[in-house]
Amino acid sequence: MMTGAEYEASLGKLNLVVYMFGKRVADVGDDPIIKPSRKAVAATYDLAHDPEFESLATARSHLTGKKINRFCHIHQSMDDLIQKSKMGRVLGARTGCCFQRCVGMDALNALSIVTYNIDASYETQYRARFLKYLAYVQENDLTCDGAMTDPKGDRGYPPHQQSDPDMFLHVIEENEAGIVVRGAKAHQTGAVNSHEIIVMPTMAMREADKDYAISFALPSDTAGIIYIIGRQSSETRKLEEGTIDRGNQLFGGHEALVVFDDVFVPWERVFMYKEYEFAGQLVEKFASYHRQSYACKVGVGDVLIGAAQTIAEYNGTAKASHIKDKITEMNHLNETLYCGCLACASEGHREPCGTYCVDTLLANVHKQNVTRFPYEISRLAQDIAGGLMVTLPSEADFRSPEVGAWLEKYLQASPHVPAENRLRILRLIENLTLGPGAVGYLTESMHGAGSPQAQKIMISRQVDMHQKQQSAKRLCGIKEDESS
Ligand SMILES: Cc1cc2nc3c(=O)[nH]c(=O)nc-3n(C[C@H](O)[C@H](O)[C@H](O)COP(=O)(O)OP(=O)(O)OC[C@H]3O[C@@H](n4cnc5c(N)ncnc54)[C@H](O)[C@@H]3O)c2cc1C
Ligand code: SF4
């Protein structure tokens, strides 16, 4: 297992084509905007070497019996699913942001199930190919990007009816050695921090869309793959001198648009090829695992609640009854989220291939709550923080010989707390609820792993309505025959 430092060094060997602000990024590892996101992934490596978290962050490979980082593991029991949720919370609290590595773990687990199921229906060899790939990922402790979301063009039309056929990633050529693909994947979390990119179809497909029903994995620096980094609000503060205005000084996240400009994929890396009936299954398995992964938001919630309590103490309001009530409400919402991710793990099941999978209904209920509760927790944090959070002058003014003393004097609240500490905690709350941290804590909670309506559809499909009606009818004496 690599340490965080070894992981960062290993990425240095990649020749990634990365663009940001209209220019090719010369040194991806050293770029001040990308670097904090790399540090966040590095935290997933360091956790595996922390004796306190060994059982959470490591597992035994079912392929080799070797100790591996849990992010490379295929869940072998319900306990594995539960440890995964707990690990997500710990890392969310350690980094205060998206630590990016879960998308790859969830893609590996989903493919472990679906490659088996395709082979059971056809005379294909996907399972053997996938296990060989998995062994490589585990042996080298790699980070994988889980690439599902296509640009999708006009949402009203399926892939084959788009005016531009590249709106969904598809195969354009096939030969003895492999296939050539064209298209893009949008919003890719941690893309330029990944050694590998695992591509999956974005939604259930029909026969007319079979050229789009493909899944494969490639090294992230394969010829023809281009990364264009997405903007995050106030991210250029990372380019300024000083650290206070950044809010989160240590970690961050990033997303990228990943373009596949006629990229060659050898057959041994192809895990689904036009078996369109299985595209929906792969999406459902990946989405369920990733909806469970949103235990990370509970950890980030821990940071925000800690920040809200701290600013209340600095402002001198911590003892007010409504402030105490609001902090309790924040904890209530955050722990409710934790219940959801543990529940879908505890109610998991064994798939025929041996991989353990979360309960789909409860994973979707959990993610539906994630689309709401962080917004309410953020609203309460902003309420407690006060308006200074958005009118605070910059760190440069605070350090200025001309006006710094005024800020030191007038921005102090409790006489026991230096103004600088108040600034620091306010900037952290701003980061998480309005700044770059809100990308991960709010909008990613809304749309990441699927927008709210995607979970509503799954919830309505998964609930056993017949059984609920039977319970009601039995209690009030309705006989089935009479009610029809
Ligand atoms: C921060 C962040 C990180 C992410 N990380 C990853 C990642 O690592 N890997 C990955 O694969 N994806 C990732 N995603 C993508 C995520 O899964 C998508 O954002 C999500 O599925 C929504 O897709 P969209 O953004 O294209 O929005 P849209 O599909 O445009 O949805 C916007 C709204 O339109 C509605 N809508 C869309 N289509 C229809 C329709 N046909 N009929 C009716 N209503 C419709 C939706 O329900 C929603 O309300 C990430 C997203 C975010 C924000
Ligand atoms: S949003 Fe959470 S679950 Fe998804 S990759 Fe980031 S940290 Fe992991």
pLDDT value of residue 481:
65
448 Cβ closer than 6 Å to some ligand 2 atom: yes
87 Cβ closer than 6 Å to some ligand 1 atom: no
444 Cβ closer than 6 Å to some ligand 1 atom: yes
Q: Which ligand is nearest to the CA of 301?
A: 2
Atom nearest to 255 CA in ligand 1: 3
Q: Ramachandran region of residue 65, left (φ > 0), alpha (ψ -120 to 50) or beta?
A: left
Instruction: Give the integer Cα–Cα distance in Å for 70 and 74.
Output: 8
Atom nearest to 453 CA in ligand 1: 47
Instruction: Give the integer Cα–Cα distance in Å for 445 and 450.
Output: 9
Instruction: Give the integer Cα–Cα distance in Å for 356 and 348.
Output: 7
Per-residue pLDDT of the chain (484 residues; tens, 9 = 90+): 999 999 999 999 999 999 999 999 999 999 999 999 999 999 999 999 999 999 999 999 999 999 999 999 999 999 999 999 999 999 999 999 999 999 999 999 999 999 999 999 999 999 999 999 999 999 999 999 999 999 999 999 999 999 999 999 999 999 999 999 999 999 999 999 999 999 999 999 999 999 999 999 999 999 999 999 999 999 999 999 999 999 999 999 999 999 999 999 999 999 999 999 999 999 999 999 999 999 999 999 999 999 999 999 999 999 999 999 999 999 999 999 999 999 999 999 999 999 999 999 999 999 999 999 999 999 999 999 999 999 999 999 999 999 999 999 999 999 999 999 999 999 999 999 999 999 999 999 999 999 999 999 999 999 999 999 999 999 999 987 655 4
Sequence-distant (≥ 6) Cβ neighbours of residue 275 within 8 angstroms:
118, 121, 122, 124, 213
Query: Can 290 be counted among the known catalytic residues?
Result: yes
Give the gyration radius of the chain's Cα atoms: 24
Of 72, 97, 102, 341, which residue is the catalytic one?
102
Residue to probe by mutation, ligand 2, list 38, 91, 100, most atoms within 8 Å of CB: 100
**Distances from the Cα of 417 to the Cαs of 147, 285, 313, 316, 324, in angstroms?**
46, 49, 9, 10, 20
189 Cβ closer than 6 Å to some ligand 2 atom: yes
Residue 345 Cα, ligand 2 centroid: separation in angstroms? 16
pLDDT value of residue 480:
78
Pairing of strands 144-147, 196-199: parallel
Residue to probe by mutation, ligand 2, list 94, 98, 254, 371, most atoms within 8 Å of CB: 98
Of 126, 212, 276, 294, which residue is the catalytic one?
294
